[in-house]
Amino acid sequence: MTNRKTMTEAEPEADPEADPVRAEPYAGLAPIYDYVMRHVDYAHWARFVQSLLRRHHADTGHLLELACGTGNVACALGNLGYCVTGFDISQEMVEEARKKTPAPPGALQFDVRDLRDLRGIGAFDGAICLYDSFNYLLTLSDFDRALGQVYDVLTPGAVFIFDVCTEQNSVRHFGDVRDTEQGPGFLYTRHSYYDADERLQFNKFDIRLEDGSRRQESHVQRIYPHEDLLAHIDASPFDLLEALDGFSLRPGSERSDRIHFVLRRQA
């Protein structure tokens, strides 16, 4: 998430009273997503993934990326020599990712798919799902289903890396935050807040474009207790190799902002 910024350019000529179009998550955000998230060091994230694969002797030339978004991590991994097949549930995000596919295509491929249904996509020697995408699975049954689907598309011994955000992160950074920012041809406001009783993180966007159009979308994430995730991973067919604090090799806990899990399909 970006920090609050002061606007220095003229605002897009959007009618503040225009009726907003209610959009599915990322449908309106996709074209401006890379600008909104420009603070994220995707190259660092890719190198961290590479270090974990090598740490567990599971480095592979071809990776499956789930919830790939606009393909920023895939591109960073491509720069490290990997081939990446990326899937995302959002058609709009996939369309943005495809704009980054190198010519000739082959090293990076993107398509639309829900990570809870991966039937028929083939077998992969490694998989990743990053940037708290698993928090969008709002029930533990969906969490279990996703783990099972990933397991079934991995070859024996393959490693799966995913991360989640914690309650510490929601309370510390997004308990009740409002920010406004302007980019090239758009203005957006965001309200982030955390419902501690339901353990739900909300991020609501109101996006105004220079053509006068306006879109609103709401993102909801489940913030799971760490022990619940450990229990469900233990009940899955995966072996848990590590649960790490952020981008370190320290054990993750409820005091972490982000936890990376490293799982292995049994050989």
The pLDDT of residue 19 is 72
Q: Return d(Cα 93, Cα 218) in angstroms, integer.
A: 16
Tokens, residue 109? 């491929």
The pLDDT of residue 175 is 86
Ramachandran category for residue 143: left, alpha or beta (phi over 0 → left; psi -120 to 50 → alpha): alpha
Residues of the chain with CATH 2.20.25.110: 168-222
CATH of 42-165+223-264, one of 3.30.310.50, 3.80.30.20, 3.40.50.150, 3.50.50.60: 3.40.50.150
The pLDDT of residue 16 is 54
1-60, pLDDT tens digit by residue? 333 333 333 344 445 556 788 889 999 999 999 999 999 999 999 999 999 999 999 999
The pLDDT of residue 17 is 57
The pLDDT of residue 18 is 63
Strand partners, 46: none
Q: Coil, strand, or helix at residue 128?
A: strand
Residues of the chain with CATH 3.40.50.150: 42-165+223-264
Q: Return d(Cα 168, Cα 206) in angstroms, integer.
A: 26
Q: How far is CA 259 from CA 86, 147, 151, 176, 254, in A?
A: 22, 16, 20, 22, 9
- Matching residue, tokens 């022990």: 227
Other CB atoms within 10 Å distance of the CB of residue 54: 10
Query: What is 168-222's CATH number?
Result: 2.20.25.110
The pLDDT of residue 23 is 86
Angle formed at CA 101 by CA 99 and CA 107, multiple of 5 degrees: 165
- Matching residue, tokens 């920010």: 179
Query: pTM score, two decimals?
Result: 0.91
Tokens, residue 40? 């994220």
Per-residue pLDDT of the chain (267 residues; tens, 9 = 90+): 333 333 333 344 445 556 788 889 999 999 999 999 999 999 999 999 999 999 999 999 899 999 999 999 999 999 999 999 999 999 999 999 999 988 667 899 999 999 999 999 989 999 999 999 999 999 999 999 999 999 999 999 999 999 999 999 999 999 899 999 999 999 999 999 999 999 999 999 999 999 999 999 999 999 999 999 999 999 999 999 999 999 999 999 999 999 999 999 998
The pLDDT of residue 26 is 97
The pLDDT of residue 267 is 87
The pLDDT of residue 61 is 87
Return all residues near 28 (Cβ < 8 A) that are at least 6 apart.
Answer: 21, 205, 207, 215, 216, 217
